[in-house]
Structure 1
Amino acid sequence: MQKPKLGFWDIWNMSFGFLGIQFGFALQGSTMSRIFETLGASKDDIPMLWIAAPLAGLIVQPIVGYLSDNTWHKRLGRRRPFFLLGAILSSIALLFMPFSSEVWMAAGLLLVLDASINISMEPFRALVADKLPESQRSYGFVVQTLIIGVGTWIASNLPKFLNNTLNISNEAAPGVVPDSVKIAFGVGALVFITSILVTIFTTKEYSPEEMAAFDDASEPEEKKGMWATISSTYALMPVIMKKLGVVQFFSWFAFFAMWTLANPALTEHIYNAPKPDVKNFAQLDDSDNVLLDANQATLFLDQTQEDAYTTQDKAYNEASDDVGSKMGIYGLSSMAFALLLTFYTAYNSINRKVVHMASLVLGGLGFLLMFYIPGEPEYLVLCFALVGIAWGSILSMPYAMLSSSVESSKMGLMMGVFNMFIVIPQIIAALGGVVLLHNLIGEESIHAMTIAGIFLILAALSNLLITNKKAITYQPSITNE
């Protein structure tokens, strides 16, 4: 028995929770480094402070994938219990994040936030394969990407919108996160839980009996424990997953470089407005710590130095707002790209390999161009538009290729294991990889964007490794290789 094809709105509703997931990721990606800098972290330390995020994914993703494959709740089904749990935990972390008073506190909450988002995200990937026949899977992942694009653009623009439109301040005392960022995270928490509930209430999952009856169901295997199953899955990883893993490695290294260092790189290189170090303006004790008055306010050297710090910090916050807004363009262009693919893949097959290669090359060019536009932030629109084409493809094509080559009964686990190729490059980048590589070119943070461009082009070339015809182009007559 074939799975019935679903209409656009059915696929939209089952993917709508990704709006909240992406709100969480976009606020994290566009604002987290700004929070770290505000709390006193140096720009070279920022990638290391992000390491909690990929470490959480490395641990959580395969476990949640296995558990969601082997869960059936009478009312919530197979994947939806994890959507709900992840949404509740993520919303709590989003609410508390901007109130961090120390770097270690923000890094700890980043660990909680990323782990919680992953609890919701991986079952969403598997739900597409659960619900859709193979002929609609490219379509399903592209619709997810469309929603992700909407979430990225809106969330990235929130701090600037709150400041410019609602007059909520984007300035604060040294070491304090501005109110505009705090409220943006609060809005993100509300959107996260609301969008997940929309999917939970509008989407029905197939029961285990129904899943077993479909033509793409695999033969039941002898039940093993979670760790034995995960270990055997790593050991018997299909060839297509390994080849896609090479593509993913270069792709996600590039985007980790962007998320961690775009704000310091672009505020400095494009806007000439780096984060001022309060120690250069304030009174210090014998241990080189900033002195505070009885109200815990910074004691500046004099009024002139306080005014200078305030002016430079205002310029940095304005630039950071604009960097976040410009980064939102990559969500907007990924949305447009996904919309184009949605209409096309609804009625036609596509060559996933060629689409992915071309998209990654365009994204790489977008990153490389950033070095050549100092003082001209308007060109960042073009740069991030090109990056968004790569992002739209990264969020759809590899998953569509993989889902065509994986047993449906292990889809959640396979998607979790596949994400090893997302988190490992980020861990390597966080442990010094991105700083080391960009320092080989020059000390300025903008060279991290150059490294991102080079790595996206390497990811594009890595697609040449993929030869599985069923993964490249869906055709019902092609069997798995």
Structure 2
Amino acid sequence: MTDMASEKPRQGWAGLWNISFGFFGIQIGFALQNANMSRVFQSLGSGIDDLPALWVAAPLTGLLVQPIVGHMSDRTWLGRLGRRRPYFLAGAVLATIALLAMPESAGSSSGLLMAALLLWMLDASLNVSMEPFRAFVGDMLRKDQHTAGYAVQTAFIGAGAVVGSLFPYALEHFGVSNAAALGEIPDTVRYSFWAGGLALLAAVLWTVLTTREYSPEEQAAFGDAQEAEGASAAALAGRPIWNGLPWIVAGAVVAALVKAWALEKEVYLLAALLAGYGIAIMAAIGLARSGRSASMLAGIVGDFAGMPPLMKRLAFVQFFSWSALFIMWINTTPVVAQYHFGSADPASAAYQEAGNWVGVLFSVYNGVAAIAALALLPMLSARLGKARTHALCLVAGALGFAGFLLLRDPKALIACEIGIGIAWASILAMPYAILASSLPQSKLGIYMGLFNVFVVLPQLLVATVMGSIMKAFFPGEPIWTMAFAAGTLLVAALASLRIGAET
């Protein structure tokens, strides 16, 4: 039994609040991005078939940034500023700049390009701040408080998303203009991005200034599980160098199919990622064989290859869960505008009204998630276990997406968002609560970063492939994207029943 003198101090509600309050601001940024970027792109002249390609920046930056930041934050110690907080702060400053600049895209001669580049910057910066927050809970809390810590974090995620999603709707009701000609961004969206940027920075500063991280020496004294530096990477040295070739071949095959079948050009990105991973494997094996197993590339590839079995099972669930979410973020505005407000024209008043209503709908599912994280999930998990609770919540989300195909009254969609909100709460809390206590403290950042790869990989797949599928089988009918979302959540629900080890 662990000596109580070596335990981390138990955090009260004030401590839990301070540890996760920065996530409130980060989620305001994500909510503004998720609810408004399709609207911004279409207002600046993008067609609906081009939206997935424009959105590809978001998951691509997450795929690249999160493992790197996780690897680096495990090895960072900047004295009083700490281990994770430097990344919170740097990401928040850059994200604030992107949010303040985004509305100015309308005044640029190449507004659509500027908006796409700023989305890239915004998402990268939000990921720099977000990824260490997941590890921060594990750093600061005892294992018996991990579930509470991630529940509070999820509640702040939901609350921040409610605020970010409601900004345009609330501003219109305060008399701010919601109208805009094609090529312009409504004042409601403009002011929302500015206010959201300032709120994001203030919330992250709160966490930075009110928390003190445990030093590496203190973490060692607490007896947290450690893992030999470079152990996973060193294991690569025994693998044949050609292990990366199948991935390179797969990338080449995908590229050939894009050309042969005249698929959307963004699918070339998927081919490049497959081939790039194969090259990274070969390079990492070469580094490990030459005795450079402590390098970043070898470390990341080695840890990815050496993921614990429980993490692999959870990753499969995450992959399908987040496929549904990304479909929702891209397509809800055009779906609601066309099928529930009767207009697919971004310059019409009905379309802009639909855009505001989507903000309300998004605030509903996030508000439900905030409540469910603290009230529903602990009760269900105590009775059913974490895996079955997660499966049940994902089924509720699938039913919510299916409702978009059946209901035509915009207000009735609130019922759909309740189901989606329950699923969202579980997606944000349950996998991390299951995983955190099973990971070595010295690898918490990199493993959380690698786990989040399975959050962004499905988003890349949706961004690169969904456009081709819709154009081939459902041209001009975006409502069917919601059927895809319902189906992927059902797959995730079935997969979550196979997790098993934590029940």
Coarse TM-score class (shorter-chain normalised): 0.7 to 0.9
How many angstroms apart in 1 are the aligned matches of 2:494 and 2:480? Answer: 21
Match of 1:46 in 2: 51
**Correspondence for 1:158 among 158, 167, 176:** 167
SS in 2 for 1:221: coil
How many angstroms apart in 2 are the aligned matches of 1:434 and 1:23? Answer: 28
Tell me, yes or no, if the aligned pair for 2:470 and 2:478 is still in contact at 8 Å. Answer: no
Q: Which amino acid aligns with 1:75?
A: R
Tell me, yes or no, if the aligned pair for 2:52 and 2:466 is still in contact at 8 Å. Answer: no
Match of 1:231 in 2: 301
SS in 2 for 1:465: coil
Shift in alpha-carbon separation, 1:129–1:349, aligned structure 2, 3 A: farther
How many angstroms apart in 2 are the aligned matches of 1:460 and 1:88? Answer: 37
Match of 1:197 in 2: 205
Are 2:486 and 1:453 equivalent residues in the alignment? yes
Shift in alpha-carbon separation, 1:254–1:333, aligned structure 2, 3 A: same
Shift in alpha-carbon separation, 1:366–1:349, aligned structure 2, 3 A: closer
Match of 1:140 in 2: 149
Give the superposition deviation at 1:434: 5.9
Q: Which amino acid aligns with 1:352?
A: K
Q: Which amino acid aligns with 2:490?
A: I
**Correspondence for 2:397 among 363, 379, 389:** 363
Q: Which amino acid aligns with 1:254?
A: A
Shift in alpha-carbon separation, 1:81–1:130, aligned structure 2, 3 A: same
Are 2:109 and 1:104 equivalent residues in the alignment? no
Shift in alpha-carbon separation, 1:440–1:245, aligned structure 2, 3 A: farther
Match of 2:35 in 1: 30
How many angstroms apart in 1 are the aligned matches of 2:47 and 2:195? Answer: 28
Tell me, yes or no, if the aligned pair for 2:227 and 2:440 is still in contact at 8 Å. Answer: no
**Correspondence for 2:357 among 299, 314, 322:** 322
How many angstroms apart in 1 are the aligned matches of 2:227 and 2:63? Answer: 28
SS in 2 for 1:18: helix
Match of 2:461 in 1: 428
Tell me, yes or no, if the aligned pair for 1:51 and 1:430 is still in contact at 8 Å. Answer: yes
Tell me, yes or no, if the aligned pair for 1:142 and 1:341 is still in contact at 8 Å. Answer: no
Match of 2:448 in 1: 415
Q: Which amino acid aligns with 2:65?
A: V
Are 2:149 and 1:115 equivalent residues in the alignment? no
SS in 2 for 1:153: helix
Aligned residues: 432
| CA deviation string 1:416-450 (max 9, x = no partner) | 11111011111110002365168646741111111
Are 2:380 and 1:372 equivalent residues in the alignment? no
Match of 1:172 in 2: 180
Give the superposition deviation at 1:92: 0.2
Match of 2:22 in 1: 17
Tell me, yes or no, if the aligned pair for 1:47 and 1:430 is still in contact at 8 Å. Answer: yes
Match of 2:335 in 1: 265
Tell me, yes or no, if the aligned pair for 2:226 and 2:440 is still in contact at 8 Å. Answer: yes
How many angstroms apart in 1 are the aligned matches of 2:338 and 2:163? Answer: 24
| CA deviation string 1:289-315 (max 9, x = no partner) | xxxxxxxxxxxxxxxxxxxxxxx6112
Tell me, yes or no, if the aligned pair for 1:438 and 1:445 is still in contact at 8 Å. Answer: no
* Percent sequence identity over aligned pairs: 46
How many angstroms apart in 1 are the aligned matches of 2:73 and 2:317? Answer: 26
Q: Which amino acid aligns with 1:197?
A: L
Where do 1:22-101 residues align within 5 Å? 22-101=27-106
Tell me, yes or no, if the aligned pair for 1:21 and 1:120 is still in contact at 8 Å. Answer: yes
Match of 2:321 in 1: 251
Give the superposition deviation at 1:227: 1.6
Shift in alpha-carbon separation, 1:423–1:343, aligned structure 2, 3 A: closer
Tell me, yes or no, if the aligned pair for 1:93 and 1:109 is still in contact at 8 Å. Answer: yes
Q: Which amino acid aligns with 2:178?
A: N
TM-score (norm 2): 0.83
| CA deviation string 1:185-216 (max 9, x = no partner) | 00110110000011011111111001011233
Tell me, yes or no, if the aligned pair for 2:95 and 2:125 is still in contact at 8 Å. Answer: yes
Shift in alpha-carbon separation, 1:250–1:342, aligned structure 2, 3 A: closer
Mean CA deviation greater in 451-460 or 222-231: 222-231
Q: Which amino acid aligns with 1:338?
A: A
**Correspondence for 2:214 among 199, 206, 222:** 206
Stretches of structure 2 that go unaligned for 5 or more consecutive residues are 1-5, 231-292
Shift in alpha-carbon separation, 1:437–1:393, aligned structure 2, 3 A: farther
Shift in alpha-carbon separation, 1:435–1:351, aligned structure 2, 3 A: farther
| CA deviation string 1:207-266 (max 9, x = no partner) | 100101123331543581222211110111111111111111111110000101110011
